Amino acid sequence: MRSICEILELAKADTDYMETVLKDFEPLVKKYARKMFFLEYEEAFQELELAIIEAVHRIEIYPSDAQCVTYISRAVIYAYRTQCNQNIRKVKCVNLDEIYPYWENFSDIEFFADLEKKFCSLSASQKTLLLLLIQGESDSEIAELLHVSRQYVNKAKKKLFTH
């Protein structure tokens, strides 16, 4: 039986071995592809598989299988973080002051206190979603603005309102 380092070396020239490598790292790729909510699952999966292929072609031979696995795993994690950072730069965050005119319609002080308390407990992405909903954006418009699927927006709304 060949070591992982040997398989990685062979994968540089042989597509059958590359498929073996991709199959071996599939659980890791699936884990991070599911976390990339801003991309469709298949697209995220392909991006991470490309990261593995690139890492295989860049890898130097390490003396142990553990070092080889660590190298490939870190390449997947780096690709995941890069995609997340690119998505963060695309998202337009809404300032609370921008929606103040919408608040003028409410006269109940307790409502404002409850809303402020709720708002402070939300994550940044939940705050953005809530502000876009308050501004009257549709699910499709929010999905387009945040570069996510409409289904993700629906899930996030459900989670937001049960929070």
Q: What is the pLDDT of residues 126-148, one digit of tens each?
A: 888 888 887 778 888 888 888 88
**Which structure tokens are listed for 155?**
């899930």
**What was the pLDDT predicted at 23?**
94
pTM exceeding the 0.75 threshold for the entire prediction: no
Q: Which two tokens stand for residue 116?
A: 């402020």
> Which pLDDT score, from 0 to 100, does residue 111 have?
61
> What per-residue confidence (pLDDT) applies to 101?
52
Residues 72, 56: Cα–Cα separation, whole Å: 7
**Per residue in 73-104, pLDDT tens?**
999 999 988 888 777 665 544 444 554 555 55
Residue 47 structure tokens: 């991006």
Phi, psi of 106 (to 5 degrees): -105, 135
Sorted by sequence, the CB contacts under 8 Å of residue 119 that are 6+ apart come out as 96, 127, 130
Model pLDDT, residue 94: 46
Look at residues 3, 33, 8 and name the one whose alpha carbon lies nearest to residue 20: 8
Distance (Å, whole) CA 163 – CA 159 = 6
